[in-house]
């Protein structure tokens, strides 16, 4: 006879009071974030409507081949995203996370934020212990000498001024290579200091993230679709250790059933409540 195999695919809990009690007992909290934590700041996410720039999906531009084929187009994409950030501010989710860290540190406890975002809004909100897995919009790396430099110039170079409009019809002429961002030390072509698809994450960034995954006693995973690796493996790895993971998202993700809690709704509303500092 066929054994009726029943999987315990029980839905994660949405009991906020129970989760808040676990937060109170925690001493080493890992907070993993994706584009959804910045959505209420007005920063487009990758998969939502904002996920396209002109007629391209982000991953068609956020890769080394696209950059070597058409550095002008890729720079327009990143220039646009840098300029978008000029008017964007941390939202209540970023702020609650920063306040929570402050409170925990004052009690001799620990909070670390591991973000996939390159918008620096956690930093702007005051988060101190921050690992930026995929780099930042506000650093460049020289493709010749490798020099990494912070750069907040708006625009980053004269040739990109008023360029990068996102509407699909926008056509743009090629900016000559020598007018794209150039290295002040060796005049090599600069690229954004971000991790593109097909590129490895920085080895010691990955090591630090893995250490936090192994040592935390509670994990929140906020506003990520959990489809991009290796970041998508981090929260499931914590759950596999038997440590509580709470997912905060507008929708279910491929990992939702791995987690003890799933809270549906906007991070800007849920995170202040979950961390007890609305």
Q: Which of Zn ion, ligand BV8, none does residue 197 bind (CB under 5 to 8 Å by kind)?
A: ligand BV8
Tell me the window of 113-121, 144-152, 207-215, 242-250 that interacts with Zn ion (CB under 5 A): 144-152
Is-catalytic flag, 79? no
Q: Which does 60 bind (CB under 5 to 8 A by kind): Zn ion, ligand BV8, none?
A: none
Instruction: Dig out the tokens for 248 from the structure.
Output: 């905060």
Q: Residue 145 interacts with Zn ion (CB under 5 A)? A: yes
Please tell me whether residue 142 binds Zn ion under the rule CB under 5 A.
yes
Biggest CA–CA distance in the chain, Å, is 75
Closest to ligand BV8 by CB, 145 vs 250, is 250
CA distances from 214 to 28, 184, 217 (A): 11, 41, 9
Q: How far apart are CA 73 and CA 173, in angstroms?
A: 9
- 34 assigned binding-site residue: yes
- Work out the end-to-end distance of the chain between its first and last CA atoms, rounded to an integer number of angstroms: 55
Residue 37 marked as a ligand binder: yes
By CB under 6 A, name the one of 104, 118, 175, 180 that touches ligand BV8.
Answer: 118
**Distance between CA atoms of residues 230 and 226, nearest Å:** 9
d(CA 269, CA 278): 8
Q: Would the annotation count 74 as a binding residue?
A: no
Instruction: For residues 252 and 255, give the distance between their C-alpha atoms in angstroms, rounded to a whole number.
Output: 8
SS3 149: strand
**C-beta of 175 vs 223, nearer to ligand BV8:** 223
132 is annotated as contributing to ligand binding: no
Strand ordering across the sheet containing 148-150: 148-150, 135-142, 190-194
Binding site residues, ligand BV8, CB under 6 A: 34-36, 39-40, 45-47, 51, 58-59, 62, 116, 118, 134, 194-200, 223-225, 227-231, 248-251, 253, 266-267
Binding site residues, Zn ion, CB under 5 A: 142, 144-145, 147, 183, 185-186, 188
């Amino acid at each position: 006879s066929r054994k009726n195999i029943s999987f315990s695919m029980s839905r994660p809990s949405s009991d906020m009071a129970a989760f808040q009690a676990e937060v109170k007992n925690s001493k080493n909290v890992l907070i993993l974030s994706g584009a959804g934590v910045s959505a209420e700041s007005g920063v487009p996410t990758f998969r939502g409507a904002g996920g396209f720039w002109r007629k391209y999906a982000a991953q068609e531009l956020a890769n080394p081949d696209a950059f070597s084929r058409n550095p002008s187009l890729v720079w327009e994409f990143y220039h646009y995203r840098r300029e978008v950030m000029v008017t964007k501010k941390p939202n209540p989710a970023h702020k609650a996370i920063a306040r929570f860290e402050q409170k925990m540190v004052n009690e001799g406890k620990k909070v670390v934020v591991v973000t996939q975002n390159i918008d620096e809004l956690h930093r702007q909100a005051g988060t101190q212990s921050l690992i930026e897995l995929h780099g930042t919009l506000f650093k460049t790396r020289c493709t010749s000498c490798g020099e990494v430099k912070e750069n907040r110039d708006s625009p980053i170079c004269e040739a990109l001024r008023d360029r990068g409009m996102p509407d699909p019809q926008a056509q743009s002429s090629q900016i000559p290579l020598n007018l794209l961002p150039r290295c002040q030390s060796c005049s090599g072509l600069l690229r954004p200091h971000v991790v593109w698809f097909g590129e490895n994450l920085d080895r010691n960034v990955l090591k630090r993230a893995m250490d936090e995954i192994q040592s935390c006693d509670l994990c929140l995973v906020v506003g990520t679709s959990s489809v991009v690796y290796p970041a998508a493996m981090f929260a499931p790895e914590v759950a596999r250790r038997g440590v509580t993971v709470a997912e905060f998202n507008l929708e279910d993700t491929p990992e939702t059933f791995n987690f003890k809690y799933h809270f549906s709704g906007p991070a800007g509303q849920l995170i202040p409540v979950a961390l007890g500092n609305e």
